[in-house]
A and B are shown apart, each in its own frame.
Chain A
Amino acid sequence: MSTQFLTISPSPHIHSGESVNKLMYGVLIALAPALAVSFYVFGLGAVIVTLIAVLSCVFFEYILTKYLLHREPAITDGSAVITGVLLAFNVPSNLPWWIIIIGSLVAIGVGKISFGGLGNNPFNPALVGRVFLLISFPVQMTSWPLPLENAWQLADAATGATPLGLIKEGLSTGKPLSDLMQEVPSYVSLLLGNVGGSVGEVSALALIIGVIYMLWKKIITWHIPVAMLGTAFIFTGGLWLINPEKFADPVFHLLTGGLLLGAFFMATDYVTSPMTTKAMLIFGAGVGFITIVIREFGSYPEGVSFAILIMNGFVPLMNKYIKPKRFGVKKNG
C-alpha cells in the first residue's frame, strides 16, 4: 500500500462523535413532552402556532444567512427549529399567524443573523422575538385561550388570564391573596398542564421530563437551572414568610408562568449563557432574582424573558472576568 494515501493530522486522532446537530436534536427531543401537552391542552391553535413559528424561523434563517451573511445556510443544525419552537412556547396559542411571522423575523433577523449567526448572538433569539411582540402587540400577546374546553375549535376561543396575571391584577385591586389563590388552578393542574398560559409553559411535569433528558444526555449541566430556581425559591419564600397576604408561596411561583421553561430551555441556551460553572451559577441566580423582582414589584405579571435578556447582556463581561479554577494556581495569587 502506498503511504501517500495516509492522512497526516495532529492529535487527537479520535473524536467523541458529539455534533451540533446531535445536541440541537437532543434539545428538540427534550422539548417534545411539553409540545405534546400543549397540543393536547390548547389543541389545533398550538399546533398551528408552532408550525408557523418553526417554518418561518427556518425560512428566515435560510434566506438571511444566504443573502445577508453570504454563507451556506446551516439550517440542518436544528438551531432555527429550536428558536421556532421556543418562540411558539412563549406566545398564546391563539396568536394571529402574521404576528408570529413578525416575531420569527425579529428573532432570527435581529436576534441572531444581525450579530453574525449561530454562536455570535448575545441575546436569546426566541426571547428577542417574544419581547418585541410583547411590546408591539400587548393585547394579542396577553389574551390567553382557556385550556381544554375549546382545544380543537379555531375561532373565538374564550380567553382568560394566566395564574400570575390573575394574582397581579387581583392584588392591584386590593383583594387579599388568600381569596385570589382560590381562583387559580390547583398545583396538580399546574404540574400537569391544565392551565391558561403560553403554549410551552403549561405543564411543569413535561418540562421536568425534558430537563431530565437533557441532563442525562449531558446536553446541559445543572448549574443554571438550579441556581435560577433555587434563587427564585428562596427569594419568594422569604417574601412569603414576611407577608403571606401579599406574596404568593414559592411553590406557586416555581410552577407558574415561564419560570421552568426559562430555567430549563432558555437560560441554558449555549450561545447566550456563560462559559464557566462559577459564572453559570451567578448568571442563574441573577435571572432568578430579576424574575421575581419583576413579578412581585414590576408592572408585568411575568418577568422571566426580561430577566434572561438582562443577564444575557452581562455574559460577555462574566466570560472576561470569571475564569475557571486553573490547575496549579492558588486561589489568591
Chain B
Amino acid sequence: MSLLTINNVKTFPKGGIHPADHKLSAGVPIKKLDPPAQVAIPLSQHIGAPATPVVEKREKVKVGQLIAKGNGFVSANIHATISGIVTKVDKVIDSTGYKRDAIIIKAGREGEEWADGIDLSDDLITEITLEREDIIKKIADAGIVGMGGATFPSHVKLSVPKGRTAEYLIINGVECEPYLTADHRLMLEKGAEIIVGARLLMRALGVEKAIIGIEKNKPDAIEKMAELTANEKGITVQPLKVQYPQGGEKQLIKAVLNREVPSGGLPIDVGVVVHNVGTAFAVYEAVQKNKPLVERVVTVTGKDVKNPSNFLVRIGTPVMQLIDAAGGIPEHTGKVVSGGPMMGKALNSLDVPVAKGTSGILLIPNEEAKRGEIKPCIRCTKCVQVCPMGLEPYLLMTLTQKEMYEEVEKEKTMDCIECGSCSFICPSDRPLLDYIRLGKRTVASLIRERNN
C-alpha cells in the first residue's frame, strides 16, 4: 500500500460514535456450510412488493431455479437455494418478527442438482461482454438486492432516473457495524471478483470512476484492494476513519467526495450510486457466472460464541443451524440479533431463515441484553453532538411524546437514518430512536394524507 493511501484517511465531518469494534471473526476464513435438509425462503427479502411464487406444491426444483418472480419494478426475483421438492408455501416467522409467506423446499435424496447454465467453477472471468441494459437485466433476473442489509433491489438503483446522471460509483466496504466481518472476509478472499463486479456496475451506470471505501480497521483489506486496483483505470481505494456510521450512504458520500445528499433526496441527486461489496460480488456471479443469488456470507459472532465464524450459507437456512456450526448457543444468551448491534433486528425465534440481507447473527449475553432504566434528560447535548444528520434527538423524542407532529416534521425527523448513535450515547438511557421511529412513521402517514 502506498504511503499516499495510508495518510489520506477521510471521514464524515459531523457526529458519529466510536463503539468498541469486537471484530472477533476477522481472522476466520469464510467456511462453506453444507446445504441444509430444508429451507424456508421468504417471498419478501427486499424492500418493495413481495415476489409472486411461480412453482407449485410438490414441484421438483433445482438450485438456482426461479421460484418466485419480482412483482413490479421495485421487487426482486427469488430462486431455489437447494434442490428438492417444494413442500408448501407457508407463513414463517422471519427477521421482522412477523409471520410472512415463504416457500419451503425439502432437499431431495439424490444429491445436489443445479439449474442449467450456471458456472460453478472458481475461474475468474474478467472479460465483460455485455452491454448496459443486459447487465441490468441479468442483475434483476438474479434477484440481487443490497447485501449490506438495506435490501433495496439493485437493478432499481442502477436505473438512473431521467434528468440525473451518475458520475461516481462508490463500493461500500466500510462495514462500520461492530462485530460484523462478512464484507471484510469477502474483500480478502474474493477481491478480484468484487472488482469485476464493480466494473460491471460501472458499465451499467455508465460511469468512469469508482471508489472503494474501507475503514482503517481493515488494513489487510485496504492493502489487498489497493493492490488489485493498482492497474485498474478509474477504480481507487479510499481508506476511512473508524467512526460509526461511516458506512451510512450519506455519510460515506460526504466522506469520500464531500458531497451532501440533499435532505429528502437520493445519492443520485449528487451523481453517486453506492453499492455494497457483497452486492458487487453477487453481481459478478450473476453476470459472469450466470449464478443467481442463492447464498451469502453471514458472520456468526458474539462475546461468548465458541467459534466466531464467517459462513457461506444458502438463503433460507434456519439461523439455529448457523449458531450450531459456530459452536452452539452459549449459556446466558439474552438476545439474538440479525445484523449488527447498532442497526440489527432482535430475533424472536431461532428458526428464522437467513435472508438476502442477513449480514450477521450476533449473540448477546444476558447482562448486555437489557436496557438501562430510563432517566430524565439532563440536557447533556451528547445526542445532538453524535447525530450525523444534524438533528436534535432529545427534542424529537419529547415532541413525539407530546404528539406535536407538525413540529416533529419541521425538526427534520424524516432525515433520521436510524443509525442509533443517539440512543447509544445517552447517559440517561433514553430510548431516543424508538420514539424517533414512531415519530417518523406518524409523520410519513401525515405526509401521505396531505398529498392525497
Contacts and interface: CB of A to CB of B under 8 A. Distances in A.
A11 B342 contact: yes
Sorting the interface of chain A by its residue count into under 10, 10 to 19, 20 to 34 or 35 or more gives 35 or more
B334 A7 contact: yes
Determine which residue in A19, A117, A328, A330 has the highest number of CB atoms from chain B within 10 A of its CB, and name it: A328
B424 interface: yes
Interface string A235-246: 000000000000
Interface string A79-99: 100000000000000000000
Contacts of A321: none
B250 A275 contact: no
Interface residues of B, number: 72
A329 B378 contact: no
Given A11-B420, A119-B379, A327-B14, A18 B427 contact: yes
B329 interface: yes
Given A3-B349, A6-B348, A118 B388 contact: no
Contact of A9 (B254, B346, B395): B346
Nearest to A12: B420
Interface in A256-315: 270-271, 273, 275-277
A138 interface: no
B124 interface: no
Interface string B179-206: 0000000000000000000000000000
Contact of B390 (A15, A74, A326): A326
B333 interface: yes
B379 A270 contact: yes
Given A8-B346, A328-B250, A13 B390 contact: no
Interface string B419-433: 011011111110101
Contacts, number: 163
A271 to B, nearest CB: 5
A328 B249 CA distance: 13
Contact of A324 (B369, B372, B390, B426): B390
Contacts of A14: 19, 178, 341-342, 368, 424
Contacts of B377: 119
B60 interface: no
Interface string B382-420: 101101111110110000000000000001100100101
A8 to B, nearest CB: 5
Contacts of B433: 10-12
B392 A324 contact: yes
Given A6-B335, A7-B369, A326-B263, A18 B382 contact: yes
A74 B97 CA distance: 37
Interface string A149-180: 00000000000000000000000000000000
Closest 5 CB pairs of A and B: A12-B420, A328-B263, A119-B376, A18-B427, A326-B390
Interface of B: 14, 17, 19, 97, 178, 250, 254, 260-265, 329, 333-337, 339, 341-350, 362, 364, 368-372, 375-382, 384-385, 387-392, 394-395, 411-412, 415, 418, 420-421, 423-429, 431, 433-434, 437
Interface of A: 1, 3, 5-16, 18-20, 22-23, 74, 77, 79, 117-120, 221, 270-271, 273, 275-277, 319, 323-330
